Amino acid sequence: LFSGKKGKAMDNKLQSLIAEMEQLYQWDPPTQLRNSIEILDYLEPYICDSQIQGDDASGELYNMIRTSYQDLLASTQRHYQFLRRQIQLGGKSSCLAPWISIHQDEISGEGYDYLDVLVNGIFQFTSPDGKIVELTEEMVSYQPTPARRIFELISRISLTEHDIFVDLGSGMGHVPLLVAICTEANCIGIELEKAYVDCARLCARGLNLANVTFIQQDARSADFSQGTVFYLYTPFTGAILRDVLDSLRDEASRREIRICTYGPCTTTVAKEHWLEAIDPVELDQIALFHRRN
């Protein structure tokens, strides 16, 4: 890796990363954490590759990188612990505020990024324990909403302490957990898979969150009568989605509710005649709907 033409280019890149790492502590904490996560992500393949060899100079560079990597990793982990502690002590909404606002100017784009690493560093999920039940054809298997999209949801939907936010098919609970941390709303996650519900409950307990509950249930038989905002990241399709949308339409005929979607289900939900998009719908972003009057 560190020899020849390609090796020289790599040496230069790694050397400039070392210089960047030395500057890290001059930046504000959110930028610092973001850059640290991105540098760690870049370096990880080199650190994990035990086959890396080179001449003496490159060997020295590699040792330097490995030491810097370990220091940086330890410092990001301390930062996650610090944020966990703030959440546990009740300083919820303010501690993640810098990341909600950072997200605002980078709203485009799909996929996972440093915000997911940050959120997982805070949540510290245990691996799902126990058998994952096989879902039927119209049930979509687990994939979390990218953290960037959850922050987008939080910043666009203005939840108050009077809201009850319900994630239908909540998986390990990323969305209700983050909404519960960043807002005063009461949050509910409804999820069929027991192993995911157990992980989500454990995480909520570890963070001392009193405003989030997880229920193991098929969304079709859930009680929708308390919810004010319902979120769907394409948890199911076809007849199941139809059943759930019909139940939501019944609720909407009695009172104001809002529906938020992400992923392919947005196209189906946008066609519901009883719903109206609050903002223009962009398929790679969160879509917000309320009842058409």
Ligand X SMILES: C[S@@+](CC[C@H](N)C(=O)[O-])C[C@H]1O[C@@H](n2cnc3c(N)ncnc32)[C@H](O)[C@@H]1O
In the complex with ligand X, the residue whose CB is nearer, 139 or 164, is: 139
In the complex with ligand X, the residue whose CB is nearer, 66 or 194, is: 194
CA distance 270 to 287: 9
- Least CB distance to ligand X at residue 15 (A): 39
In the complex with ligand X, the residue whose CB is nearer, 21 or 146, is: 146
CA distance 85 to 87: 5
> Coil, strand or helix: which one is 194?
helix
In the complex with ligand X, the residue whose CB is nearer, 62 or 196, is: 196
SS (H, E, C) 139-163: ECCCCCCCHHHHHHHHHHHCCCCCC
CA distance 94 to 110: 26
- Least CB distance to ligand X at residue 80 (A): 19
Which residues contact residue 135 at a Cβ distance below 8 angstroms, ignoring those fewer than 6 apart? 141, 192
Phi-psi category of residue 45: left, alpha or beta, with phi > 0 → left and psi -120 to 50 → alpha: alpha
In the complex with ligand X, the residue whose CB is nearer, 80 or 165, is: 165
Give, in degrees to the nearest 5, the angle at Cα 236 between 233 and 241.
105
Closest CA to 170 of 179, 159, 182: 179
- Least CB distance to ligand X at residue 138 (A): 8
- Least CB distance to ligand X at residue 263 (A): 7
- Least CB distance to ligand X at residue 23 (A): 35
115-146 as b/e: b if 16+ CB within 10 A: bbbbbbbbbebeebeeeeeeeeeebbebebbb
In the complex with ligand X, the residue whose CB is nearer, 190 or 257, is: 190
> Coil, strand or helix: which one is 249?
helix
In the complex with ligand X, the residue whose CB is nearer, 143 or 158, is: 143
- Least CB distance to ligand X at residue 20 (A): 32
- Least CB distance to ligand X at residue 274 (A): 22
Q: Which residues pair with 187 in a beta bridge?
A: 165, 212
Judged by the rule CB under 6 A, the positions of this chain that interact with ligand X are 135, 139-140, 142-145, 167, 169-171, 174-175, 190-193, 196, 218-220, 233-236, 240
**Cβ-closest residue to ligand X?**
169
CA distance 83 to 64: 29
